[in-house]
Amino acid sequence: MSSAAEMSLVHGPPGYRPNVGLRYLFIDFNAYFAAVEQHDHPGLFGRPVVVAPLASESSGAIAVSYEARAFGIRRGTPIREARRLCPGLAVMPARHDRYVAVHKQLMDEIGRHLPLVKVYSIDEAAFRLSRSEEHPRAALVVARAIKRGIAENVGPALRASIGLAPSRLLAKLAAERNKPDGLTVLEIADLPRRLAGMPLEEIPGVGPGVAARLARAGVHDFPALWRLQPKQARAIWGSVQGERFWYALHGYEVDEPETKKSMIGHSRVLSREHERPCEARVVGRALLLKAASRLRHYGLHARALTLAVRLRPVGRWEGARRFPPTQDSFSFLRVFDALWAAFLDEARCGRGAPAPRCGGVTVYLHDLAAEGAAELAQLDLFAPSDPAADRRARLWATIDRINADLEHKFERLGGGSKTGEKRRRYVTLARQQGLDLDYLGAKIAFSRVPEEAEFLY
C-alpha cells in the first residue's frame, strides 16, 4: 500500500477522526417493555411476560421477555397462540407513558457515570468515555458500575447489554453480541474476526436495498465488507453515506447528521369491540387528531394524509390524498372522511356485501414543511386572507394548550408512580367518550422516544 493510501486509512479525510481507544459505551435494554412490567410488578420477575398493544386476545405481542422467548414466543406472535405455547404466560397491556418515565430514570442513572451522546430509541443510547477510560480495563470498570447502579438505584429487572468500542456503530454491534445482560469490548484489532459471522442485514445502515447492492458487488459477509475501501462503499451505497458508514465501521469519529421529520402518524390494533367500520372510524379520527396536535407542537404543516386499514382475517386497504399545506384539524378530518368513504366503497365490493371487519387503523401526515419555510412563505404571498382559517387556528391552539396542561395532567408520568389514576381528557370529540383510548396516540416507535407532552394532548 502506498504511503498516501496509508495516511487515508489512518487519518481519513477532513471531518473524520480516528479513535485508537474505546470512546463509546452503547447500552441496549433487553426486552425493555416487558422488563418494565416485571420491574413494576415484582411477582412477574423471572416469569414469562409479553406486552400487547391493548387488552385483547386478537392483538399480537409487541415485547417478549426472555423467559417467554424460551417457549418460542416472538414479537408479533398472536396472543392466543402465545397463551397456547406458554399456559402460564402473563399478558400485560402496554403503558407507554410509564416506559418513557422509566427511560428517564435510566438515563439519569447512567448520566451519573458518563455524558450522554445520543438517545437512539426508548431502549438504546450511546455515552462518551473519557480519555482516561478508553483502555479496556478502565472502560469495563465504568460499565460494571453502570450495571450495578441500574440494579441498585432503578431495579434489577431492567437488565441491559453494553458494548464498548471506538465508534458508536461498533459499540452498538458489540452490545448485540451477548444478550441478555451482556458486556462486550470490541477493539479494532479484533476485526473483522470477531464479527465474521454477523449477517450483513443485522448491521445498522445495511438495509435490504444496500444488502442487494453489496451482493451484486460480491460482498456477502462481514470480512468482505471490512475489506472495502471508502470510495467503493460510496459507490455501492450510491451516496456519501456509504463512505461515512465505512469510517464508522473502522472506528472513526463520524458526526451523525440530524434527521428531519418526514411524517407524523399513529396506529392502533383494534379489539373485537372496535372492529366494525363505525367504531374503527372513530378510532382513526382520534388518531388523526393526535397526529395533528403533534404536528402543531413541532411547528409543522402537512400536505398529504395517508390512511391504512388492516382487515380481518386478511387484507389491507391504503389510500392517500394531497392538499395545500395546513395545520388545521378540521381540514384533516374532511380528508380522512373522504378516504374512509373510499375505503368502505372498495372493501364492500358492491351493494349488499357485508361490512368489512377492521383489525387495525393507521393514519399519518406527511410531506411536511416547517413554519417559516420558503415554500410556505411563498404561498402566503398569494393566498387571500381567510378569517375563518385564522379562527380555526386559534381554536386548535387553545385546545392544544388545554390538553397539554402539565400541572394538572402530568402527576403520574415520571414521579415514580407505577399505575396511578386515569387522567381526565379535557377536550375530546364527543363520539370518543367511552372508548378505551388511554394509550391511543403515544405509541412508541422503537426509533424514537416520545416527549412527555405527547401523552397529554
Please give the positions annotated as active site.
Answer: 124
Q: For residue 256, how many other CB atoms are within 10 A of its CB?
A: 13
The Cα-based distances of 29 to 173, 177, 430 in angstroms read 14, 13, 40
Give 14: exposed, middle or buried? Use CB within 10 Å, 0-12, 13-18, 19+: exposed
DSSP 155-213: -TT--EEEEEESSHHHHHHHHTSS-SS-EEE--GGGTTGGGTT--GGGSTT--HHHHHH
The candidate with the shortest Cα–Cα distance to 228, out of 255, 174, 201, 191, is: 191
Question: What would the grid cell of residue 131 be?
Answer: 480519555
CB distance 76 to 53 below 8 Å: no
- Compute the Cα dihedral for 151, 155, 159, 165 and give only its sign: negative
CA 298 to CA 304: how far, in whole Å?
A: 17
- Compute the Cα dihedral for 252, 257, 263, 264 and give only its sign: positive
Length of the chain: 457
What φ, ψ does residue 167 adopt, rounded to 5°? -125, 165
The candidate with the shortest Cα–Cα distance to 22, out of 187, 172, 152, is: 187
- Compute the Cα dihedral for 397, 403, 404, 406 and give only its sign: positive
CB distance 27 to 125 below 8 Å: yes
